[in-house]
Structure 1
Amino acid sequence: MVTRSDAALVQSAARFDRVRRDSAWSLLRANQAPIVLAVLHANFVESGEARVPATVLFERIGDDLEALRVAGHELPQSPQRYVADWLDAGYLERRTGSAGTSGAGSGAGSSAAETYELSADALAALRIATEIVTPPRSVTESRLTTVMGQLEQLAIDTDTDVASRLESLTRERERLDHRISNIREGRIDVVAPDAALERIRDILLLAEQLPADFARVRRDVESLNVQFRRDIIESDGARGEVLDALFRGVDVLQDNEAGRSFGAFYALLINPERSAGLDRSIDDVLTRDALGSLKPAERIALRTLVERLTSRGGEVHEVYASLARSLRTFVQQREYVEERRVSRLLKQAQRAFGELSGDGSLIRPTGFTLSLSKAQLGSVSQFTMTAPDTERPPGLVDNPPVELDLDRVRELINESDINLYELRRNVDATLEDLPVASISDVLDRYPATQGLGSLIGLLSIGLERTVNGRAVLVENERDLVAWGDSGLAARVPTILFTQSSEEHP
């Protein structure tokens, strides 16, 4: 009797709880799941196109939405908006170029080089939904034969006993000799039509699962690339494990279980002899009378099987190669050194913030208001075009001239930006009384009308005048400058304004 572990049960529940955060789960639970699944299946599975250009996809989905609306479904958004939502939800992946990595962002653009494809989670959701809608009619002999044959072959291939291996090979030779003898005597065993259809459909069903495998491998290798870069940057020692492997010339993306598994798959796929043999087998199968009742879609799927596998496999292989080159460049050109420096600075800033956060509240009122210059931002889409035929502007009206209030203009300037004109005038007026003046001297005579903004403006003027010798920046010295009646003060670099280009100590 198998004993159940409570800890294993809890761990299993936690694993299944993580599934709820996957896009596959959210797609199956979505309010419009039937609509989304149908549209994605039609455009990426039934069409036989794993990757569809953006403009083509928008046009096709527009036609699909129109047909569904006629059938009574409430679908108020545009194709572009739905595609953007599915991209955000993780149902689609956007690519640029032939083998780019996933695009970031949530918009649905329309570049000529931009394409969309189903994510691994969307393919998983479609497979689950398809198996629910059209489950296998029965346990097939073909599947059982496949399982038994694989197990028998595995038992032989893992056997290290010489006598046992020779015995297995001898039995296999006897079976082959018996079949050859029967064929020479005219006794040929041909698979029944129903059994042949059963086998070919099991093959097609297995092939339908490969796109999800390709998408998952591609997603995993991209995640692995990010993880390796993070390990290199965050390594405390002079060289981390990943960095040391790269310096030794190891392809870290391929030197792991997933990489080796895909490498073996791709090597088998592009083997000229095996590929040519597979093409011949497909051609022969399609001419057999026993498979005459295959549906047109099944014939197309079988005919294009090698082409689709080679195309998707090549894309994943190119991603491997591209990311491996990028990772080597990241190391060989020592880009990681700067990334490490930035990472250390960020960590230092975070530690400093943590130390300072205990000295006071981050939301404590300071009693100070700083007026900043602002710009009104808006989108071009907010503007509406004027139709000359229906909207005519009113006739021109003569208005009397108005008096220009300079005080009001000055007030508006003060509210919108730092009044540098006023500050320069204050500096020059101070220098009429003093041969050398500091920022504090200027503020003692002329209060900061714009608070901290006036102080910033004086610093800017001082730095500007150091170029022509009318101010001096004293190295390694700072002044404590106060402004207003609030008691606010700041330590700023010591700048001395002068009446001429002569420098003062």
Structure 2
Amino acid sequence: MDLDDIDRLRERHPAWRLMRAHNAPLVLSFLGPYFVDENRAAVPASTIESRLDDYLYDLHRTDPGRYTNDASTYLDDWSAADAGWLRRHYPVGSDQVHYDATPALHKAYAWVEGMRARTFIGTESRLHTVIDLLRQIVHGAETDPETRIAELERRRAAIDAELADARNGIIRTLDETALRDRYQQVAATARELLADFREVEDNFRALDRSAREKIARWEGGKGELLAELISSRADITASDQGRSFQAFYDFLLSEDSQTELDQMLDAVHRMPIIATDRRLRTVHHDWLDAAERTQHTVRTLSEQLRRFLDDHVWLENKRIMQLVRGIETAALAVRETPPADIGLTVNAPGVPISLPLERPLYDPQPETRVDSLVEPDTSDPADLETLLAQRYIDTARLADTVRELVPPRTSASLSDIIQQRPVQHGIAEILGYLSLDADDIAIRIDDETTTIPYDDSAGNPKIVRMRHVTVSRP
């Protein structure tokens, strides 16, 4: 890279801007653990605002005058176009703003983490990795049968020798240093994969945005645009990035691969000589979540093609589509340089006329006397039975019940949960399950109907008919 390239990155790259920002410690200390370490996808604005507000409250107790803005202001600044550390968008089917981390945040957070002093730096495992990769490249591209056969025989001889030693009771194991070296390499590669998925998703999203802009600006025939869009969709699948991602995704979806990964991770985390990272125990589930988000971005582009092919909607809404495309084209034209003042002037349909004689004359109203006193003999005794019969529904207990019965990353129907833990307070307790609001519990109501048997407060059997409710632990 020459001087101009580095200077251009310093001025335009969001990760470099983050390192130069005056509140970079706040951004990295909050967004890094929240999105990168916990591998979070897009979260609603209310959730992240609440978490950031608690974080700022703890900071104000030790350093009151350092960060004075509120949580919403910081989130708006971090998601602005001149920052680029958070992506602000509306997901499909939601009317609430969501925030998601950008690849620039991952790069900056990884660079800061790499600056910390390390007591142990492994080199042997990386050397073996380089040699293994070179061996795969050389022998994987070999077309000479004799050379390929010689390599396979060499591998078989090494395996036969190891089998013979094992049968004779000679077992060669790695020492503690070699084990820690390789575990450190595995942990670093696993975290880098999560960051790479975020960047791949961003690249696919850029292709999707390019296709949307092309549809908004297109003025030619429909067939030509369709051919160009299908070519763009094929470019995603046929590119090196697309083929590598699809091969990784197919391998990870294999049941045998998932079982092998789970068994190996469990075996590693049971070794007492390795200081394991708790995040690495379920890293393959994080890989699946990140890969699914990337696949969702590709499916979004395919959905745009499907909508474009709907001729019926195209003909019925031709005028509306022209107006929307005009608005989109104008918005794209002023995206880089938005107007300073935006105003709207509406001409009144006429001049209002008010005649004095049309107003009604003053009409005095008779005085109204209000007697709020109740005669002693007409007052009825208060019925306190309904008030005393009120029951308190402990939603914390219901949340603990869900966590006990539903393992993480799984789901169960509400009827199965109630069958395992019968309700104690009637229909109010069933409604309490629907009102659970926790980060690790999600409630989904489907269109299907189901019946849930329960006992009321008097012990009488009842049946409630309601929508099918699924309780999940994301």
Counterparts in 2 of 1:37 and 1:134: CA distance versus 1, 3 Å: farther
What's 1:61 paired with? 52
Task: Give the conservation status (yes or no) of the 8 Å contact 1:234–1:340.
Answer: no
CA distance in 2, matches of 1:290, 1:136: 16
Counterparts in 2 of 1:245 and 1:90: CA distance versus 1, 3 Å: closer
Task: Give the conservation status (yes or no) of the 8 Å contact 2:122–2:185.
Answer: no
Task: Give the conservation status (yes or no) of the 8 Å contact 1:204–1:301.
Answer: no
What's 2:194 paired with? 211
SS of the residue 2:99 aligns to: strand
CA distance in 1, matches of 2:325, 2:66: 53
CA distance in 2, matches of 1:280, 1:342: 57
What's 1:117 paired with? 100
CA distance in 1, matches of 2:252, 2:19: 33
Q: Post-superposition shift, 1:75? A: 1.1
CA distance in 2, matches of 1:235, 1:116: 31
SS of the residue 2:67 aligns to: coil
TM-score after normalising by structure 2: 0.61
CA distance in 2, matches of 1:235, 1:162: 53
Q: Which runs of 5+ in 1 are unaligned?
A: 1-7, 104-108, 350-371, 375-415, 423-505
Task: Give the conservation status (yes or no) of the 8 Å contact 2:211–2:229.
Answer: no
SS of the residue 1:209 aligns to: helix
What's 1:430 paired with? none
- Match for residue 320 of structure 1 among 271, 294, 298: 298
CA displacement, residues 202-244 of structure 1 (integer Å, 9 cap, x when unaligned): 1111111223222212221121122234445656764677622
SS of the residue 1:254 aligns to: helix
Q: Post-superposition shift, 1:15? A: 6.2
Q: Post-superposition shift, 1:276? A: 1.4
Task: Give the conservation status (yes or no) of the 8 Å contact 1:51–1:117.
Answer: yes
CA distance in 2, matches of 1:43, 1:248: 38
CA distance in 2, matches of 1:48, 1:221: 19
What's 2:87 paired with? 93
Task: Give the conservation status (yes or no) of the 8 Å contact 1:245–1:252.
Answer: no
Q: Post-superposition shift, 1:421? A: 7.3
Partner AA of 2:55 in structure 1:
D
Q: Post-superposition shift, 1:314? A: 1.2
Counterparts in 2 of 1:135 and 1:20: CA distance versus 1, 3 Å: farther
What's 1:82 paired with? 74
Task: Give the conservation status (yes or no) of the 8 Å contact 1:282–1:303.
Answer: yes
SS of the residue 1:133 aligns to: coil
CA distance in 2, matches of 1:124, 1:22: 11
Moved more, 13-22 or 120-129: 13-22
Q: Post-superposition shift, 1:52? A: 4.0
Counterparts in 2 of 1:206 and 1:30: CA distance versus 1, 3 Å: same
Counterparts in 2 of 1:255 and 1:52: CA distance versus 1, 3 Å: same
CA displacement, residues 8-51 of structure 1 (integer Å, 9 cap, x when unaligned): 847xx336514531211111110111121111123223445444
Task: Give the conservation status (yes or no) of the 8 Å contact 2:233–2:301.
Answer: no
What's 2:285 paired with? 307
Q: Post-superposition shift, 1:79? A: 1.2
Partner AA of 2:187 in structure 1:
L
Kindly indicate whether residue 152 of structure 2 is the aligned counterpart of residue 169 of structure 1: yes
Counterparts in 2 of 1:288 and 1:323: CA distance versus 1, 3 Å: same
Counterparts in 2 of 1:333 and 1:229: CA distance versus 1, 3 Å: farther
What's 2:134 paired with? 151
Task: Give the conservation status (yes or no) of the 8 Å contact 2:216–2:325.
Answer: no
SS of the residue 1:117 aligns to: strand
CA displacement, residues 94-153 of structure 1 (integer Å, 9 cap, x when unaligned): 4545xx59x9xxxxx9x4xx5433111111111111112346854511111111111111
Partner AA of 2:157 in structure 1:
E
Counterparts in 2 of 1:306 and 1:345: CA distance versus 1, 3 Å: closer
Moved more, 58-67 or 132-141: 132-141
Kindly indicate whether residue 161 of structure 2 is the aligned counterpart of residue 178 of structure 1: yes
CA displacement, residues 402-431 of structure 1 (integer Å, 9 cap, x when unaligned): xxxxxxxxxxxxxx8854879xxxxxxxxx
Task: Give the conservation status (yes or no) of the 8 Å contact 2:32–2:106.
Answer: no
Moved more, 136-145 or 203-212: 136-145
Partner AA of 2:199 in structure 1:
R
Counterparts in 2 of 1:136 and 1:28: CA distance versus 1, 3 Å: farther
Higher CA-based Rg: 1
CA distance in 2, matches of 1:373, 1:56: 39
Kindly indicate whether residue 11 of structure 2 is the aligned counterpart of residue 17 of structure 1: no
Partner AA of 2:101 in structure 1:
L
CA distance in 2, matches of 1:248, 1:40: 37
What's 1:385 paired with? none
Task: Give the conservation status (yes or no) of the 8 Å contact 2:85–2:104.
Answer: yes
CA displacement, residues 222-267 of structure 1 (integer Å, 9 cap, x when unaligned): 2112223444565676467762266799745424333222212211
Task: Give the conservation status (yes or no) of the 8 Å contact 1:41–1:126.
Answer: yes
Counterparts in 2 of 1:334 and 1:15: CA distance versus 1, 3 Å: farther
CA displacement, residues 454-478 of structure 1 (integer Å, 9 cap, x when unaligned): xxxxxxxxxxxxxxxxxxxxxxxxx
What's 1:387 paired with? none
SS of the residue 1:126 aligns to: helix
Task: Give the conservation status (yes or no) of the 8 Å contact 2:32–2:105.
Answer: no
Cα RMSD (Å) of the superposition?
3.7
Task: Give the conservation status (yes or no) of the 8 Å contact 1:43–1:57.
Answer: no
CA distance in 1, matches of 2:352, 2:191: 71
Counterparts in 2 of 1:333 and 1:212: CA distance versus 1, 3 Å: farther
Within 5 A, what are the aligned runs for 1:233-272? 238=221, 243-244=226-227, 251=234, 253-272=236-255
What's 2:472 paired with? none
CA distance in 2, matches of 1:241, 1:158: 40
Partner AA of 1:83 in structure 2:
L
